[in-house]
Amino acid sequence: MVLHLLPNPPTPSLTPSPTFFAISQARLAQILVGSESPDEALIKRCAHFDLQGKAKSAAAACDAIIATRKGQLDLCKQELVKQVAYARDAIKVFEDKHPLSKLNDKEAELRKSPSDNFALWRGSEIKECGDTEANDLMEPLVKEGLAQKVNMKVK
């Protein structure tokens, strides 16, 4: 018997949509504003404050940048919560489709891998994300994702 991490290939709803890529490309184009690299865009933005000519002052330009970044952070938080819930549900479906009673020792050991790795990630890796602000955000977001209603229709 061969165990697969997911019982079936990801459904179209789990694959980033063309809209996701279009939004990402639009966001990148908005950030670069005619610059050849992200570094150049940052230098220009620091030097000129407003490449698009829409801000009335440097403070207004900074406020616009902050609002954009906060919006992007909120989208990232929502996606993290969604993916934590999905991972939990996918692991449950995987384990239900491969009961231990029907597996040999090697398969049983492999079956535990997704659950063990998810537990390891939840237990330690989310506490050391790279900076203290991210560390403070992760644990409540993971808890929120785990608290979401279980969806056993994961495919």
pLDDT digits (tens, 9 = 90+) for 74-127: 999 999 999 999 999 999 999 999 999 999 999 999 999 999 999 999 988 888
Look at residue 9 and tell me if it is in a domain.
no
Look at residue 14 and tell me if it is in a domain.
no
Round to whole Å and give the CA distance between 72 and 77: 9
Round to whole Å and give the CA distance between 17 and 88: 22
Range(s) of the domain holding residue 149: 73-155
Round to whole Å and give the CA distance between 64 and 103: 57
* 3 state SS of 8: coil
Domain tally, the chain: 1
Print burial letters for 74-96: b (CB count within 10 Å at least 16), e (below 16).
Answer: eeeeeebbeebbbbbbbbbbbee
Look at residue 7 and tell me if it is in a domain.
no
Look at residue 93 and tell me if it is in a domain.
yes
* pTM for this predicted structure: 0.63
Look at residue 95 and tell me if it is in a domain.
yes
Look at residue 151 and tell me if it is in a domain.
yes
